[in-house]
Structure 1
Amino acid sequence: MGLETKCVRYGKNEEYIGYMAKMDRAKANLPAVIVIQEIWGVDAHIQDITERFAEAGYLAFAPDLYAENGNRIEDLKEERIVEVRDFLDSLPHTVWNNPEEREQAIRELELGKQNRVTKTFEKMFGGIQSSVYVENLLAATSFLREECEASKGQGIASIGFCMGGALSALLACRDPQLKGAAIFYGVAPSDEELKNINSPLYGFYGDLDKRISDNIPAFADKMDSHGKIFKYEMYKDTHHAFFNDTRASYNVSAARDAYQKVLQFFNQVLVKE
């Protein structure tokens, strides 16, 4: 297939690490796509998505937001996240956001697993560290724009999923040079933040994901009132995380349509600008 993948250190002191992919026969500098992880981290699914965009002709890069100095934080190591994910998958989905029922289910685990699941769950879901994560993402865009030999001087766009979708929008608020941001079922930025957006945004949502999707028409109106570009797709009978083909919520028709449209979007903002 000719795909070149590697882990890359970046940042002023190389304190960050990310997963990079490109076609090995692509010798010219490439426009770049930053792939921003779900709550589950830079797992096999996010690496797969990164490789898909590399195969589409971009330098694709997924910053590992759960790493410090090149290594995963102890409570956020891959095996710990998998343990939490498997635990949650064993419960009815309604229990996920019900603290009392969830805590009761945790108490039924053996003691060692109780402690591990509790610590990792709190790290993952105890409030997104958006300021810390955005600093990481800004370091990534700076690296790709100014230092990376495969993308130096080229445009950069972002795409994120769930937590990463929200961060993709925040990156558009904080990086004035970003060419575009795709948001997959992520919460919208605040009214104050959106005033700083310079690039077009394209959102993809499932209509059954009410916590997020119900707020999107109002966000679209606010973007329009500030003269910002925001287009979105709302997929009928579709849940949160519909693009993740490792989850029960995967919706092949919505995912197929969204992938085609996001490729067109990146082509527009990165290639035909």
Structure 2
Amino acid sequence: MKKLSKEDISQDVFDLYDDYAHNKVDRRQFLEKLSLYAIGGITIPSLLSFIMPNYIDSIIIKPNDSRLQSDYITYQSPKGGGAIRGLLSKPKKMEVKLPSIVVVHENRGLNPYIEDVGRRAAVEGFITLAPDALSPLGGYPGNDDEGRALQQKRDKYGMLEDFIAAFEYLKSHKDCNGKIGVVGFCFGGWISNMMAVRIPELSAAVPYYGSQPTEEETSKINAPLMLHYAGLDQRVNEGWPAYEAALKKYDKEYIVYFYPEVNHGFHNNTTPRYDEAAATLSWTRTIAFFKEKLK
């Protein structure tokens, strides 16, 4: 099987995968359309192997990292899904109470990438909670295809309640200093925006390529925002002008970054949509933002 690189792949393939990852085409349609690009020694299996997530080889902060205490906990979401499982991570050495961050997954549940993001933030000196909104349906099933199918069975506003409940859990945690932020990716970007709408005490929100709230919802935001968008992500970016107009109209604190020539999902280092330069820069900005706003 030919080993592929990004240079071998048409942008149309990345756009097709984005449609598939966001339920615009089903698996049969995805494979049918993908077959059009299986030419010149490139096979469908090689394309699938290249474009689908590789979690095993992509973990940056291992689950047993000696700097962290990282364990699964269960908290209650009375207005959402009930008992929600999440990964709680914090530095082992704590001399004072620390700020906290809710880490919100994409549209497929708490997969290894998002767990890793929670640990990445924890080693920077935060308590992090990465909930699994698929908990009421048995939790992340071990692969993204089934995870997407499960997440479609839940109402997004019910899941929003689960992440608001995660904020409340952290707020009452004995090691939290009371300053809490949120970072989320894709679906989690929308959740991050909406937590800023719904939670007056939220200290900071960092949505990555997330859908935007309405003008009326935007008027209720108190938290400072840092927004990251992918330059090639037309689907999400088309909502930005109206969102920016509302943020300006209501004099909200925000900073926005567009990363040119990168795809939706550029922070996710488990797929070829990953862009190391944009991911590293955006994450450096994110951590600095949280350290400023959650101190």
Tell me, yes or no, whether TM beats 0.5. Answer: yes
Kept after mapping to 2: 8 A contact 1:162/1:184 = yes
In the alignment, which residue of structure 2 is the partner of 1:105? none
Kept after mapping to 2: 8 A contact 1:220/1:230 = no
The number of residue pairs the alignment matches comes to 227
Deviation of 1:125 after TM superposition, in Å, equals: 4.2
In the alignment, which residue of structure 2 is the partner of 1:63? 131
Deviation of 1:32 after TM superposition, in Å, equals: 0.1
* Letter aligned with residue 200 of structure 1: P
Kindly provide the CA deviation profile for residues 31-85 of structure 1, in whole angstroms up to 9, marking residues without a partner as x.
00110001121111111100011000000110111102xxxx15x6423x44x2x
**Aligned with residue 75 of structure 2, among 4, 7, 10:** 10
With over 3 angstroms needed to count, the CA separation of the structure-2 counterparts of 1:158 and 1:77, relative to structure 1, is closer
TM-score between both structures, scaled by the size of structure 1: 0.78
In the alignment, which residue of structure 1 is the partner of 2:174? 149
Kept after mapping to 1: 8 A contact 2:99/2:179 = yes
In the alignment, which residue of structure 2 is the partner of 1:234? 258
In the TM superposition, 1:113-262 aligns within 5 A as 121-125=148-152, 129-146=155-172, 148-151=173-176, 153-262=177-286
* Letter aligned with residue 139 of structure 1: A
Kindly provide the CA deviation profile for residues 58-115 of structure 1, in whole angstroms up to 9, marking residues without a partner as x.
00110111102xxxx15x6423x44x2xxxxxxxxxxxxxxxxxxxxxxxxxxxxxxx
User: Identical aligned pairs, as a percentage?
Assistant: 26
Kept after mapping to 2: 8 A contact 1:20/1:62 = yes
Kept after mapping to 1: 8 A contact 2:134/2:150 = no
* Letter aligned with residue 88 of structure 2: M
TM-score between both structures, scaled by the size of structure 2: 0.73
- Aligned partners of 1:205, 1:236: CA distance in 2, in Å? 9
- Aligned partners of 1:136, 1:23: CA distance in 2, in Å? 24
Pair 1:265-2:289 in alignment = yes
Deviation of 1:121 after TM superposition, in Å, equals: 4.9
Kept after mapping to 2: 8 A contact 1:180/1:269 = yes
Kept after mapping to 1: 8 A contact 2:197/2:220 = yes
Q: Which runs of 5+ in 1 are unaligned?
A: 85-116
Kept after mapping to 2: 8 A contact 1:224/1:230 = no
Kept after mapping to 1: 8 A contact 2:179/2:294 = yes
In the alignment, which residue of structure 1 is the partner of 2:141? 78
Kept after mapping to 2: 8 A contact 1:205/1:213 = yes
Kindly provide the CA deviation profile for residues 130-166 of structure 1, in whole angstroms up to 9, marking residues without a partner as x.
21112111211111112x2221x42000000000000
Q: Which runs of 5+ in 2 are unaligned?
A: 1-65
Kindly provide the CA deviation profile for residues 246-273 of structure 1, in whole angstroms up to 9, marking residues without a partner as x.
01100011001101100111011101xx
Say what the alpha-carbon RMSD is for the aligned residues. 1.8
1:11 counterpart SS class: strand
In the alignment, which residue of structure 2 is the partner of 1:96? none
